[in-house]
Amino acid sequence: MTDLALPSSSTSLRTMAGIEARRLARHPAFIIGNVLGFGVLVLMAVLDDAPAFGDVLSTPVVAAFFIGLPTLIATARLTRSTEATAEALGTAPGTEADRTKALALACLVPFAAGLLWLGLLLVVTVTESVHPNEWWFGTMPDWQVWSILIALVPVACLGGGVLGVLTGRWMRFPGAPAVMVVAVVVVTMVGQLPVAYESASELRLWVPWAMWHSGSDSANGTADLLAGNPFFYLLYLLCLCAAAALVAMWHDRSARTRRLRFAIVGVTVVGLACLALSMTTGSSENQRSEPIPFQVDK
Amino acid sequence: MNAIDLQGVTKSYGRTRALAGVDLSFDRGVTGLLGPNGAGKTTLLRIVATSIGADSGTVRLLGRDPHGTHGDVTAIRRELGYLPQELGYPSDMTAFGFVEYVAVLKEWNDRTRRLAEVRRVLDLVGLGDLATRKVSKLSGGQKRRVGLAQSLLGDPRVLVLDEPTTGLDPAQRADLRRTLSVVAGRCAVLLSTHQTEDVAALCERVVVLAGGRVRFDGAVSEMIRTAEGQVWLADDPGHDAVVSWRTGTGRHHVVGGMPPPGAVPAEPTLEDAYLLMLGADARTASARAAPA
């Protein structure tokens, strides 16, 4: 990294982001993750012999796991890949912060993959139908369904990518992306499972991928919709993504301007406010569905 | 106005002084930077390339201050090409892709012009046919030429090359000389190398650094003249020679000291002059640099 102070230049961010997006789309980890993510969804739809598609709101874990986490590895490796050329690149008008911005924008590729996956999920639910008792459009407000789906699928994929950029910039030891993947999984599980079915279920919402649907109870076929406001949770996740991108940019000493500092503080404050709102507004208790007949003793 | 002006430049790394009050100016043409390992060559080049700042002294590049405003630094960098001593490449990029990546960072925003420029510099370094090959599949010399290609983007007014001939075979070095002779008329080229024959073949001016100080600054022919009368061919190695070695003819090339009995004067080379100038320093550095 250059020692000299140089604020961001007017390099064409869009062009650079396009290059990074193409590199990400061709990265083996990203490709394999997408093949698995889409493949599992198709298999679920094909192999499910139930009369309707069930547990829809818990299905997004497939996209988050198979697309979001491999994307983290892919973007971390892409970010690190230019480190060996840093001295030459550092003397061009475009700065490391510009390159970080471009990488963060390239994370719109996994976001788009997540949207596509979500589209396929919706097609499956339309063609196979969803039981009227399931937590879905009709049994809960549309905005809640959309908030949950968008937060847990495309935004989770976007978050994986941006977290990878952050990892690539700040964690320099070999295997850092894998360590970060394990850390995300552990934090997500440990941070929410102990409280998800308790009276203070909304305390789970600080994790980067919070459950909203319990999955069906196979004994009586009911399903729980977990407490909290999914819309503010969606905003909280978007703030986390923005904060990760900004902190990744902070790695470039020449980019450490007052404006960037304010942006990081601002996004953090807004994110915390959204988290508080997601915990304090919306449903304060978990809600149980009516039994779904084909889920009983499945 | 000189392209590069350095006055009293110092730079230290901890307690190690890399540059100790260097005064140098460069304009159009190729200047070779010679010196033993640790002489401060790379530090000097990195300062000129705006990669690091000097601790003290004045640095002016293209009339601007590289420590100055954002506008000044960006303006300098727009006119600068830099090939660092060690340059790695992203494993997924082709030669074309990498040079295009740098071109975008150098603000070649118009796609048509950018692609044409990337093709031009790759052709200039003789890699036009290998442009679509991944850099990781190229040989060491070819990778070095990819690095050189990125430094030539946009016809820079200041071209800084740190050991550009490393890994190049004789034919590739000849190609590099041809390429640099083409661009030298338009810009100030500052190159560091351990190959004195490259300096002799390419540079009109040579600067010798040792211990962070300038030991010689002048024309190549001038430096060679400093060795006149101190180089011989002899049957004996010469007991007090600065350096001597047995040549393919069986006779000894003796540099410095008293002429051995029966010695005949030989035409000095830039290498002889360099060895004489640095004496023990050069030999110590050579020994350090030599593989075990």
Tell if the CB–CB gap between B92 and A89 is shorter than 8 Å: no
Instruction: Tell me how far apart the alpha carbons of residues A43 and B47 are, in angstroms, rounded to a whole number.
Output: 59
- DSSP sequence for B173-199: HHHHHHHHHHHHTTSEEEEE-S-HHHH
Q: What residue of A is the nearest CA neighbor of B74?
A: A93
Task: Name the band, by pLDDT with cuts 50, 70 and 90, for residue B165.
Answer: confident
What are the backbone angles phi and psi of residue B18, rounded to the nearest 5°? Answer: -85, -40
Instruction: Tell me how far apart the alpha carbons of residues B107 and A93 are, in angstroms, rounded to a whole number.
Output: 7
- Residue B120 scores a pLDDT above 50: yes
Token reading at A75: 């973007």
Question: A84 CB near a chain B CB, below 8 Å?
Answer: yes
- Residue B3 scores a pLDDT above 70: yes
pLDDT at B284: 54
ipTM (interface pTM) = 0.84
Residue with tokens 């991944």: B134
Mean pLDDT for all residues in chain A? 93
CA distance to partner chain B, nearest, from residue A20 (Å): 9
Token reading at B4: 């590069």
CA distance to partner chain A, nearest, from residue B70 (Å): 5
pLDDT at B169: 85
Helix axes A69-81, A28-47, angle to 10 degrees: 170
Chain B residue numbers touching A88 (CB-CB < 8 A): 82-84, 87, 102, 147, 150-151
pLDDT at B146: 95
Selection from B248, B243, B221 nearest residue B232 by Cα: B243
pLDDT at B280: 58
Chain B residue numbers touching A7 (CB-CB < 8 A): 70
For residues A73 and A177, is the Cβ–Cβ distance under 8 A?
yes
What are the backbone angles phi and psi of residue A26, rounded to the nearest 5°? Answer: -95, 0
Token reading at B59: 């640095």
Q: What residue of A is the nearest CA neighbor of B72?
A: A6
Report the residue from A7, A78, A94 with minimal CB separation from B105: A94
CB pairs under 8 A between A and B: 102
Q: Measuring CA to CA, how many Å separate B92 from each of A9, A89, A183, B86, B134? A: 26, 17, 27, 19, 7
Q: Which of A8, A11, A15 is the best substitution to test chain B (most B C-beta atoms within 10 A)?
A: A15
CA distance to partner chain B, nearest, from residue A16 (Å): 7
Higher pLDDT, A220 or A73: A73
The predicted model scores a pTM of 0.87
Q: H-helix or E-strand containing B234?
A: strand B231-234
Task: Name the band, by pLDDT with cuts 50, 70 and 90, for residue B168.
Answer: confident
Tell if the CB–CB gap between A15 and B66 is shorter than 8 Å: no
Report the residue from A7, A27, A93 with minimal CB separation from B107: A93
Token reading at B246: 């047995």
Tell if the CB–CB gap between A2 and B50 is shorter than 8 Å: yes
Higher pLDDT, B128 or B176: B128
Report the residue from A16, A83, A88 with minimal CB separation from B104: A16
Higher pLDDT, A36 or B124: A36
Q: Classify each residue of A258-283 as buried b or exposed e, where b means 16 or more C-beta atoms within 10 Å of its C-beta.
A: eebeebbeebbebbeebbebbbeebb
pLDDT at B289: 43
Task: Name the band, by pLDDT with cuts 50, 70 and 90, for residue B287.
Answer: very low
- Percentage of residues in chain A with pLDDT exceeding 90? 81
- Residue B286 scores a pLDDT above 70: no
Chain A residue numbers touching B52 (CB-CB < 8 A): 2-4
For residues B285 and B37, is the Cβ–Cβ distance under 8 A?
yes
Mean pLDDT score, B208-220: 95
Question: A131 CB near a chain B CB, below 8 Å?
Answer: no
Task: Name the band, by pLDDT with cuts 50, 70 and 90, for residue A116.
Answer: very high
* Strand B188-192 with B231-234, pairing: unpaired
Residues A51-105 pLDDT 10s? 888 899 999 999 999 999 999 999 999 999 998 888 889 889 888 999 999 999 9
pLDDT at B176: 84
Tell if the CB–CB gap between B89 and A85 is shorter than 8 Å: yes
Mean pLDDT score, B117-125: 94
Residues B220-251 pLDDT 10s? 999 999 999 999 999 988 888 898 999 999 89
Residues B42-59 pLDDT 10s? 999 999 999 999 999 999
Residue type, A271: G
What are the backbone angles phi and psi of residue A52, rounded to the nearest 5°? Answer: -150, 160
- Residue B285 scores a pLDDT above 70: no
